[in-house]
Amino acid sequence: MKNISDRKKEVENGFLLKFLCTSERLSQLTKTMKNLIAGILFLSIASHSLAFTAELMDSIREKKVKNSHWRLTARLHSKGIFNFGGRIGSENPTGDINFTYDRKNWGFLFFKGQDFIDHSTFYNFSLATVYTNIRLSSRVTMTPSIGTLLEQANGVADKGSDAVFLLTTTYKINSRFSLEQMSLLGNLIIEPEARDWVNRLRLLYTYRHVDVITALWHNNSVFDHSSFWSTGLTVSYARVRIGEHAFLNTGISGLLVLQTSDETVNPKKNVVMVTVGLQVFN
């Protein structure tokens, strides 16, 4: 009987030892699984954090890039058409430089025109303005501009140089067509007796490299006794890439003076002008 009792105890002790060993293994396995799961979670959170940080930095870089843009355009013309006022600026070869700096809420424009033959013509001038874009809707943008127009027949600022105000309203019809109306008021401060008011209406069409612009100008006699009507058409082959940040442009423009009250100041002439230009941008 004693042997049987001792054997029972040995069996029970063996089962207990196996149970304890199994429990210890299970405990170690559980601990290992916990560590493994914690490691996986850590790696997952770290990878997502790194991805989010990278996306955030990319977004910040993109925003920094998109917050400001500048464009510098240099053009050569066979004639000189004053595009702001719809008049003939010169019958001679001319050139101009246009610099535009754009930010989210405001911008700066500098335009310099030069007659290469005769420095006494209307195409010897500079225009500098600051402007802001006011988005009225998804299609309508209003852009008021204030600055100065400098007459430069004999110097940096000749007689007739004064402050100017421009108000441009653009209606985006679709991805290719836009309708634009601009009002220009000149001689606001220094020579108010020579104050002038010009309205310009343009229909713009853009598709790939082709730009077509039709325009109608009216210089009214609200502030002075001189007035005229003119119309124009420009067809350009533009945005021909020659570098990462450089385009070539070429085009032909026509101006037709429909009616004028002063043949001396605004002669009733029609001109055709050929243009080539280079644009660099950031």
Query: Average pLDDT of each block of 10 consecutive residues along the chain (282 residues)?
Result: 54 52 56 56 53 58 69 97 92 97 94 95 95 96 97 90 97 97 95 91 96 96 87 96 95 96 85 97 92
Contact 75, 276 (CB under 8 A): yes
pLDDT of residue 105: 86
H-helix or E-strand spanning residue 239: strand 228-243
Q: Name the amino acid, one letter, at 129.
A: T
pLDDT of residue 71: 96
Contact 213, 245 (CB under 8 A): no
pLDDT of residue 62: 54
DSSP-derived pairing of the beta strands 210-219 and 94-103: unpaired
pLDDT of residue 153: 87
pLDDT of residue 193: 86
Residue 43 Cα distances to 35, 47, 75, 218, angstroms: 12, 6, 58, 69
pLDDT of residue 224: 79
pLDDT of residue 34: 58
Cα separation of 140 and 137, whole Å? 5
Give 203's strand partners.
179, 214
Give Cα 265 distance to the centre of its chain: 36
pLDDT of residue 264: 81
Overall CATH class of domain 68-281: mainly beta
DSSP labels for 182-237?
A: EEEEE--SS-GGG-EEEEEEEEEEEETTEEEEEEEEEE--SSSS--EEEEEEEEEE
DSSP 159: T
- Nearest of 151, 210, 203, 159 to residue 179 by alpha carbon: 203
pLDDT of residue 2: 46
The model's pTM: 0.75
pLDDT of residue 266: 82
Domain spans, the chain? 1-66, 68-281
